[in-house]
Chains A and B, each alone.
Chain A
Amino acid sequence: MKTADEKELIAMMVGRTVENRYPRVAANPGETILKAVNVRTDRVKDASIELRAGEIVGLGGLMGAGRTEFARALAGVDRVLSGEIEFRGERVSFKNPGDAIRKGIAFVTEDRKSQGVILQFSVRENMALPTLSQRQRMGFINMKRERTFTADMIEKLHVRLSSMEQAVESLSGGNQQKIVIAKWLARDPALLILDEPTRGIDVGAKREIYDLMNEMKSEGRAILMISSDLPELLGICDRIYVMHEGKTMGELEGESMNESNFIKLATGRDLAWIG
């Protein structure tokens, strides 16, 4: 029996060779987009983070470390009880997701089927949702512009489907995820928070999502990625913050960004030499 290595196996699954599983684009960080200091919510104890334009920053940790909860606080979903958040140099305190969206934050949630898309709605209706007000006149939707907009996004993100009127539930996980990313990209956000963006999608689509993230990075957006897939996190991110029991334990960058350091921080041990 013939044995296959990982690369061959992937090639067999997606029908083409995926040259580099984790494509990396050189970071060219710009101004600080978001700075959060000592954020506390009812599920986050003490978390701080700084994100700059044009970089992909990871947020790692074990299950239940408070990563999603921290992201929810940054995106205006959960109430911040104490601490400070500065977005593009301005002190902010979001009352609801709408506040964060208007400032330029997009949040791609972890649970795609229950929080990312309206499954029974069409691709067009889903994609148009966060940007409805951009294609209206006196409250009326410009349907022609909506269809053009949807067609453009489908092409830009290489979503594979038969019609934009198709229900989202009939698409593959990877294509559903692209629709979620597309609807937020349409808002031209300065910060994109991606919570487990590649969970439950095939290897080929994963690679497309990475390419998309790198493109957004090159465009000068800040990206915060939460992932439980450690090789992915180490492979894609320029820096990684690690959380443990509701606290950010530290930041890994360059030489220090490796598996053993990650695990030390994720399990609550400190790295004395990181300072």
Chain B
Amino acid sequence: MDWVRKYRLGPLIGFVILFIVLSILSSQFLTFDNLRNVALQTTVNALLSVGMTFVILTSGIDLSVGSTLALSSAIAAQLMVSHVNVALACIVGVVIGGLAGALNGLLVSYGNLAPFIVTLGTQQLFRGLTEVYTQGMPIYNLPTSFTDFGTGTVLGIPIPVILAAIMFIAGWIVLRKTVIGRKIYALGGNLKVAHLAGIKVKRYLVWVYVACGVLAALGGLVLTARLGSAESTAGTGYELNAITAVVLGGTSLLGGEGSVIGTLIGALILGVIDDGLNLLNVNSFWQDAVTGLIILIAILLDRKKSR
């Protein structure tokens, strides 16, 4: 079993087993339409969890991604219904996400505050600002040139899925192949060693949170395009799904260890569980309980592994 540990195959094996079991239990599971649906359903969480992986690798956490998603998409949607160019509105939304992330990052690094506390605060702050901005009313009648993004396909693959795939590949390249990625791992592995090695740790931390905010905003745009409206309550609780995907993927909450590939598998496990339980007509109240159980089992296995 050493090679399972060495190449961190635990999450993948879990996913494959789940996949096989569901294929046997439900005849509808292994169909192109269903798998495409799973991918589509996973997209928003997948985008959020790429950013979350970066943050957790630095031994941080970002509880504000759900609120960042809501704030950035509300602003982008409002601009669209005010007849601002769709592309420009999307860019503004992404910038808002980046700024929200920058606030988190500045408070964590230069403010020397605990990420959990900072993002607990900004979670409320961004949600509150969204509610003030929208007055609690959904923003709809979005231009079709925008909603087409959410529903359109290229070669049968939904555009949001393609976007998420690009972000995963980009995240993987940055973390595994670049100097920046290596430094992110290092500062999560040991902040003092990284600092003494001359890495500008504070600057890096800010950019990591900015990236997380940008990805949350992208997730928000995808969600808004698919639903055809932006709501102040959008993305509530999404931070927990993202954290779950990261943890299921084997990334250590202590930082410095993990990968976006693991996170992708984690996000897919969550998506497949949801879909499978639906197909099997399991009461939706049970779905959360089952997901929770699977997380606990994954953590227990992980703990045994590290001993």
Q: Do A and B bind each other?
A: yes
B36 close to A (CB within 8 Å): no
The reply to whether A118 and B193 form a contact with Cβ atoms under 8 Å apart is yes
Question: Among the listed stretches B19-27, B155-163, B194-202, which one makes contact with chain A, having 4 or more residues with CB under 8 Å of it?
Answer: B194-202
How many angstroms between the C-alpha atoms of A121 and B258 in the bound complex? 12
- For A109, what are the chain B residues with a Cβ–Cβ distance below 8 Å? 196
The reply to whether B177 and A141 form a contact with Cβ atoms under 8 Å apart is yes
- For B1, what are the chain A residues with a Cβ–Cβ distance below 8 Å? none
How many angstroms between the C-alpha atoms of A109 and B178 in the bound complex? 27
A37 close to B (CB within 8 Å): no
Q: Output the nearest chain B residue to A114 by Cβ-Cβ distance.
A: B192
How many angstroms between the C-alpha atoms of A107 and B180 in the bound complex? 23
Question: Among the listed stretches B182-190, B240-248, B278-286, which one makes contact with chain A, having 4 or more residues with CB under 8 Å of it?
Answer: B182-190
- For A140, what are the chain B residues with a Cβ–Cβ distance below 8 Å? 177-179
The reply to whether A132 and B193 form a contact with Cβ atoms under 8 Å apart is no
The reply to whether B200 and A96 form a contact with Cβ atoms under 8 Å apart is yes
The reply to whether B183 and A132 form a contact with Cβ atoms under 8 Å apart is yes
Contact digits for A108-123, partner B, Cβ 8 Å, 1 yes 0 no? 0100001111111100
The reply to whether B182 and A130 form a contact with Cβ atoms under 8 Å apart is no
Q: Output the nearest chain B residue to A109 by Cβ-Cβ distance.
A: B196
A125 close to B (CB within 8 Å): yes
Say yes or no: A129-B178 contact (C-beta < 8 A), given A118-B186, A121-B256.
no
Q: Which of B4-18 contact A (CB under 8 A)?
A: none
The reply to whether A97 and B195 form a contact with Cβ atoms under 8 Å apart is yes
A102 close to B (CB within 8 Å): yes
- For A77, what are the chain B residues with a Cβ–Cβ distance below 8 Å? 196
- For B182, what are the chain A residues with a Cβ–Cβ distance below 8 Å? 125, 128-129, 132, 141
Contact digits for B250-261, partner A, Cβ 8 Å, 1 yes 0 no? 000000110000
Chain B positions within 8 Å of A, measured between CB atoms, are 177-180, 182-183, 185-186, 189-190, 192-200, 256-257
- Nearest-neighbour CB distance to chain B for A104, whole angstroms, equals 12
Residues of B contacting A: mostly: helix
A136 close to B (CB within 8 Å): yes
- For B189, what are the chain A residues with a Cβ–Cβ distance below 8 Å? 118, 120-121
- For B190, what are the chain A residues with a Cβ–Cβ distance below 8 Å? 114-115, 117-119
- For A132, what are the chain B residues with a Cβ–Cβ distance below 8 Å? 179, 182-183
Contact digits for A127-164, partner B, Cβ 8 Å, 1 yes 0 no? 01110110010011100000000000000000000000
A268 close to B (CB within 8 Å): no
- Nearest-neighbour CB distance to chain B for A67, whole angstroms, equals 17
The reply to whether B178 and A141 form a contact with Cβ atoms under 8 Å apart is yes
- For A114, what are the chain B residues with a Cβ–Cβ distance below 8 Å? 190, 192
A243 close to B (CB within 8 Å): no
The reply to whether A115 and B193 form a contact with Cβ atoms under 8 Å apart is yes
Chain A positions within 8 Å of B, measured between CB atoms, are 77, 96-98, 101-102, 107, 109, 114-121, 125, 128-130, 132-133, 136, 139-141, 183
- Nearest-neighbour CB distance to chain A for B205, whole angstroms, equals 14
How many angstroms between the C-alpha atoms of A183 and B198 in the bound complex? 12
- For B256, what are the chain A residues with a Cβ–Cβ distance below 8 Å? 118, 120-121
How many angstroms between the C-alpha atoms of A141 and B175 in the bound complex? 11
How many angstroms between the C-alpha atoms of A139 and B174 in the bound complex? 9
The reply to whether A98 and B192 form a contact with Cβ atoms under 8 Å apart is no
How many angstroms between the C-alpha atoms of A22 and B24 in the bound complex? 72
- For B186, what are the chain A residues with a Cβ–Cβ distance below 8 Å? 118, 121, 125, 129
Q: Output the nearest chain A residue to B198 by Cβ-Cβ distance.
A: A98
How many angstroms between the C-alpha atoms of A96 and B200 in the bound complex? 9
- Nearest-neighbour CB distance to chain A for B262, whole angstroms, equals 16
- Nearest-neighbour CB distance to chain A for B170, whole angstroms, equals 13
- For B194, what are the chain A residues with a Cβ–Cβ distance below 8 Å? 118, 129
The reply to whether A133 and B193 form a contact with Cβ atoms under 8 Å apart is no
- Nearest-neighbour CB distance to chain A for B126, whole angstroms, equals 31
- Nearest-neighbour CB distance to chain A for B255, whole angstroms, equals 10
- For A118, what are the chain B residues with a Cβ–Cβ distance below 8 Å? 186, 189-190, 193-194, 256
- Nearest-neighbour CB distance to chain B for A115, whole angstroms, equals 5
List, sorted by A's number, 12 A–B pairs whose CB atoms are closer than 8 Å: A97-B198, A98-B199, A98-B200, A107-B196, A117-B190, A119-B190, A120-B257, A125-B185, A129-B197, A133-B179, A139-B178, A141-B182
The reply to whether B198 and A101 form a contact with Cβ atoms under 8 Å apart is yes
- For B192, what are the chain A residues with a Cβ–Cβ distance below 8 Å? 114-115
The reply to whether B199 and A116 form a contact with Cβ atoms under 8 Å apart is no
Q: Output the nearest chain A residue to B190 by Cβ-Cβ distance.
A: A118
The reply to whether B177 and A115 form a contact with Cβ atoms under 8 Å apart is no
Q: A96, A115, A120, A141: which contacts B179 (Cβ < 8 A)?
A: A141
A77-B196, A136-B179 are known; give 6 further A-B pairs, CB within 8 A.
Answer: A117-B190, A118-B256, A120-B257, A129-B193, A129-B194, A141-B177
In the A-B complex, list the 6 residue pairs whose CB atoms are closest, starting with the nearest.
A98-B198, A118-B189, A101-B198, A118-B190, A129-B197, A130-B197
How many angstroms between the C-alpha atoms of A16 and B134 in the bound complex? 79
The reply to whether B198 and A130 form a contact with Cβ atoms under 8 Å apart is yes
How many angstroms between the C-alpha atoms of A168 and B197 in the bound complex? 17
How many angstroms between the C-alpha atoms of A117 and B189 in the bound complex? 10
- Nearest-neighbour CB distance to chain A for B2, whole angstroms, equals 13
